[in-house]
Structure 1
Amino acid sequence: MSIQNNVVGPVAAQGVSDPYGSLRNFEILKKLGNGHFSVVFSARNRFNKVCVALKKVELSQMADAKAIEDCKREISLLQQLNHPNVIKYISHFVEDNDLYIVLELASAGDLAQMIKHFTKSNKRLTEKTIWKFFSQICSGLEHMHSKRIMHRDIKPANIFVSAEGIVRLGDLGLGRFLGSETTSAYSMVGTPYYMSPERIRQQNDHGYDFRSDIWSLGCILYEMAALRSPFFGENLNLMLLRQKIEALDYTPLPAHIFSHELRHLIARCLVLDPDQRPYINEVNTVAQAMFARFVEQANANNNNTPTPSSRSDLACGSVTPVNNR
């Protein structure tokens, strides 16, 4: 069986009338990023003028069956998901021994770029903005978990923002479907700074489950506030990073800037024992309630005569550094 058939065979093939079913139907605009076997472009469809993200996967570079299975799994996972806070799958096709996955385009970039911009500008995200983004991330992840799908690589670079300010989880190439009879996964994949202790351990006979994603959420919530990963350190190798994570060696956020609820939720997510972490529905409930509270406060301020302090409270504030240890 050819590589092409091996990838596309188990997945419903696209019809010949599909406007997204061939590379010639697209105008490539620019390169957005690349992975080990893949590169992502922004592209415009020549028929309907819709701009999309076009992920090109070089099948010929995949010498082992596992990489092929990863491709098939990503398409299968994408087809199962339908949520405003998850990048939408549109189509896929194989051409010249390359797999192309057509995805919804989040044109405003990703959370990593946004954090980098705020860091360079010496500004911080207001807590209202943090909850606005985080509540959408949680909503998308709750949909994934309801479908028994772990993300396994939640990080700022995989959280995309549309021009309308809609936040979407993307890059599900490392996602893992867990059937109702399956409770744990075992492979070590993901980005180390956001990896849960049960995943980063080299010897872990118990595997990990959906609450590994909750740890990553805690890291994301912290980073949006502090503008750096809680476990960031200069010149850390994997062993030192693992020690730092297992020691919960991170500096708490300043209480005079961030709410008790934000700091408490981070602490609840960054717990070594996964059984002690909340499930996504509980995290999402807190996130939605906190965003609603800040919206209500903003509306109340707008109904009053603006003062310098109230204007400042709604704008981006100056960064208060979180001391490195």
Structure 2
Amino acid sequence: QDCIQLNQYKLKDEIGKGSYGVVKLAYNEDDEQYYAMKVVSKKKLMKQYGFPRRPPPTRPDDRRSKVFGPLERVYQEIAILKKLDHLNIVKLVEVLDDPAEDNLHMVFELVPKGPVMEVPTDSPFSEDQARLYLRDIILGLEYLHYQKIIHRDIKPSNLLLGDDGHVKIADFGVSNEFEGSDALLSSTAGTPAFMAPETLTEQKQSFSGKALDVWALGVTLFCFVYGKCPFIDEYILGLHEKIRNASVEFPVTPQISVELQDLLVQMLDKDPESRIPVPDIKLHPWVTLDGAAPLPLEEEHCTVVEVTEEEVQNSVKLIPSLSTVILVKSMLRKRSFSNPFEFPGKRENRSMSAPGDLLSHHHATGCGL
């Protein structure tokens, strides 16, 4: 609370909240730009990244195979997220870590217009508008899947509208990396109304990550055109029951085209095996205007992101302990360089001979001194 500055970033108002923590508006004094700073718990991240996506690169002289701890896995993941570069993905600029605290501060580009839609809403999008946004999301999602990242929380509030009118996918807060051609996931991350039926079974089982993202995208597309989710219940068990068993019902108004209904039915297929995959969504007549507006091929907008060991090691900037920073601030407030945690009685006996040492020692805190 006391520290409103981290390195060159001045922290402003809270602009969002999620299961992972909070997002604050941050002003970078170096480039005079605003950013979104997401504060996440390392403990939560370490729980989540049970397995690294791919083994980190090892040098030939490194005979001992490295044991990769959970925090290194987080750094590995951050190094990859920092190199993601796509028109439809929110850019991660840098990550600051205070080794003494549980928080990581992730600095993202600010997408000023915010979420593309608040759900529920009485003013849903026209089919044309929904199509434009869906095309952006499909390309962003295809890029993430190409990098072997499952998003796991696709929903309108994680889709941000850029100044250029294009949608960018944000918040890889619960993303899962995978190896091979698809992820087999078993934990149930995500937001209840957007969760796929296969994640809600009693039996412990694993399911395809790509198909989960397609289901959530189907729920999102339904929200775009109807302004509400296809399955709604005030009780979570009732909601789970509907997601698992109720068929999709299309409201009478607004009336949507047969092609869009067909796409929604295929995306909201309860069986992940037969649910339409992303490459087929890209070719669907509703998405391409019957082939008149094809989307770019995967190889035209996707290249694999690889990270070096050095990039993994430099993925995070360490910042001094916040307790040190707060200590210095409270000293400055008192215009005194004695220890503010000491009893006043003890203080008289000590000479104040070296305030300069203290200042130079803490100079790197960058806390708006």
TM-score clears 0.5: yes
Shift of 1:91: 0.9
Q: Is the 8 A contact 1:231 1:249 kept in 2?
A: no
- Give the Cα separation in 1 of the matches to 2:290 and 2:160: 19
- Residue identity in the other structure for 2:106: I
- Give the Cα separation in 2 of the matches to 1:90 and 1:220: 27
Identity percentage of aligned residues: 26
Q: Which of these residues, 98, 109, 122, is aligned with residue 104 of structure 1?
A: 109
- Give the Cα separation in 2 of the matches to 1:136 and 1:281: 14
Q: Is the 8 A contact 1:37 1:58 kept in 2?
A: yes
Q: Partner of 1:236 in structure 2? A: 235
Deviations 1:48-85 (A, max 9, x none): 112211112255xx489516658547524523522110
Q: Cα gap change, 1:269/1:64 in structure 2, threshold over 3 Å: closer, same or farther?
A: closer
Q: Cα gap change, 1:280/1:77 in structure 2, threshold over 3 Å: closer, same or farther?
A: farther
- Give the Cα separation in 2 of the matches to 1:37 and 1:253: 34
- Give the Cα separation in 1 of the matches to 2:30 and 2:45: 36
Q: Partner of 1:289 in structure 2? A: 288
What pairs with 1:143-292 in structure 2 (closer than 5 Å)?
Answer: 143-180=143-180, 183-233=183-233, 235-237=234-236, 239-254=237-252, 257-286=255-284, 288-290=287-289
Q: Is the 8 A contact 1:44 1:51 kept in 2?
A: yes
- Residue identity in the other structure for 2:209: D
Aligned residues: 264
TM-score, structure 1 normalization = 0.73
Q: Which of these residues, 82, 86, 89, is aligned with residue 83 of structure 1?
A: 86
Q: Is the 8 A contact 1:106 1:163 kept in 2?
A: yes
Q: Partner of 2:37 in structure 1? A: 54
Q: Partner of 1:94 in structure 2? A: 97
- Residue identity in the other structure for 2:165: G
- Residue identity in the other structure for 1:84: L
Q: Is the 8 A contact 2:182 2:208 kept in 1?
A: no
- Give the Cα separation in 1 of the matches to 2:254 and 2:227: 17
- Aligned CA RMSD, in angstroms, stands at 2.7
- Give the Cα separation in 1 of the matches to 2:17 and 2:290: 33
Q: Is the 8 A contact 2:91 2:108 kept in 1?
A: yes
Larger mean CA deviation between 155-164 and 133-142 belongs to 155-164
Q: Partner of 1:8 in structure 2? A: none
- Residue identity in the other structure for 2:39: K
- Give the Cα separation in 2 of the matches to 1:100 and 1:64: 12
Q: Partner of 1:7 in structure 2? A: none
Secondary structure of the corresponding residue to residue 111 of structure 1? coil
- Residue identity in the other structure for 2:109: E
Q: Is the 8 A contact 1:201 1:242 kept in 2?
A: no
TM-score, structure 2 normalization = 0.65
5+ unaligned residues in a row in structure 2: which ranges? Answer: 49-69, 294-369
Larger mean CA deviation between 46-55 and 206-215 belongs to 206-215
Higher CA-based Rg: 2
Structure 1 or 2: larger helix share? 1
- Give the Cα separation in 1 of the matches to 2:202 and 2:83: 32
Q: Cα gap change, 1:123/1:58 in structure 2, threshold over 3 Å: closer, same or farther?
A: closer
Deviations 1:226-282 (A, max 9, x none): 10010012x222x22221012234322448721122111000011111111121122
Question: Greater RCO between the two (CA within 8 Å, min separation 6)?
Answer: 2
Shift of 1:92: 0.9
Q: Cα gap change, 1:58/1:127 in structure 2, threshold over 3 Å: closer, same or farther?
A: same
- Give the Cα separation in 1 of the matches to 2:105 and 2:45: 19
Larger mean CA deviation between 248-257 and 261-270 belongs to 248-257
- Give the Cα separation in 2 of the matches to 1:64 and 1:190: 14
Secondary structure of the corresponding residue to residue 124 of structure 1? coil
Deviations 1:15-62 (A, max 9, x none): xxxxxxx82312333211123452111222111112211112255xx4
Q: Cα gap change, 1:110/1:101 in structure 2, threshold over 3 Å: closer, same or farther?
A: same
- Residue identity in the other structure for 2:96: F
